[in-house]
Chains A and B, each alone.
Chain A
Amino acid sequence: DGGITQSPKYLFRKEGQNVTLSCEQNLNHDAMYWYRQDPGQGLRLIYYSQIVNDFQKGDIAEGYSVSREKKESFPLTVTSAQKNPTAFYLCASSIDRMGPQHFGDGTRLSIL
């Protein structure tokens, strides 16, 4: 079955630590996205990538970094500069920048 896999489902971070969230898709989609979801705030765009080796900042990119070395993979690193990282993180992909987005099941990040 084609889809988007996010791992891990739950992740804990210590103060001052960087953590990386994985996102893999086998849909052969060109575009991939990372969102942060907080209660009552909907989804906010962190980063997006329309093609391999290219990505753009979204609305809340500070404290995050991404890479897009392969079409299938778009990992998100939450750096120690992100002072409030506790949230539910969702990865999505679309066949191109105009297509509907397909979502993974998310990673819930918490601070120890």
Chain B
Amino acid sequence: AQSVTQLDSQVPVFEEAPVELRCNYSSSVSVYLFWYVQYPNQGLQLLLKYLSGSTLVKGINGFEAEFNKSQTSFHLRKPSVHISDTAEYFCAVESGSRLTFGEGTQLTVNP
């Protein structure tokens, strides 16, 4: 069975600062990895996904993530955040036909 650990439940940063949201996973088989963003009272929106190929994945809104198989990590990064990036971010792993989500990281961008 797979599991996902998001290492920080809350990450406060100042506007235009870089940010990294950390995600580690465990799985005994090959996996697909995803990052989703959720704004208040809305569903989840796909930011980016890793299926195969290049370990550096670029997504929407200037986000990127790097798949590290040896460290079983898939950390999300953005070089310069905006106020509008304030949201909850979820890392997810798919193996078989199911997604397993982490518990989420609340990113708060302060002026």
* A and B physically associate: yes
Q: A interface vs B, CB < 8 Å?
A: 4, 6, 31, 33, 40-45, 48, 50, 58, 90, 92, 97-98, 100-106, 108
Interface of A, secondary structure class, is strand
Q: In the complex, how many residue pairs between chain A and chain B have their CB atoms under 8 Å apart?
A: 52
Taking the closest CB of chain B, its distance from the CB of A43, in whole angstroms, is 4
State how many residues of chain B have any CB contact under 8 Å with chain A: 21
Q: With an 8 A cutoff between CB atoms, is B57 at the interface? A: no
Query: B75-111 interface mask toward A, CB cutoff 8 Å, 1 = contact, 0 = none?
Result: 0000000000000001000101111011110000000
- Are A48 and B98 in contact, with the CB atoms below 8 A? yes
Please give me the residue from chain A that is nearest to B6 by CB atom. A42
Picked from B34, B46, B96, B102, the residue with its CB within 8 Å of the CB of A42 is B102
Known: A31-B97, A42-B104, A45-B99. A98 touches B43 (CB 8 A): no
Residue B9 lies at the interface, judged by CB distance under 8 Å to chain A: yes
Is B101 in contact with A58, judged by CB distance below 8 angstroms?
A: no
Whether the Cβ atoms of A106 and B101 lie closer than 8 Å is no
With A43-B90, A45-B99, A98-B94 as known contacts, state yes or no: A105 contacts B42, CB within 8 Å.
yes
In the complex, the answer to whether B43 meets A90 with C-beta atoms within 8 Å is yes
A4–B94 CA distance with the chains assembled, in angstroms? 21
Q: Which of B46, B90, B96, B97 contacts A100, CB < 8 Å?
A: B46
Q: Which residues on B sit within 8 Å (CB–CB) of A6?
A: 43
Q: B61: CB under 8 A from chain A?
A: no
CB < 8 Å neighbour of B99 from A4, A101, A106, A108: A101
Q: List 5 A-B contacts (CB under 8 A).
A: A6-B43, A31-B97, A40-B103, A45-B98, A106-B43
State whether B44 touches A90 (Cβ < 8 A). yes
When distances are taken between beta carbons in the complex, the residues of chain A under 8 Å from B96 are 97
Is the Cβ of A103 less than 8 Å from the Cβ of B103? Answer: no
Cβ-defined contact, B90 with A98, below 8 A: no
Partner of A58, one of B36, B49, B98, B102: B98
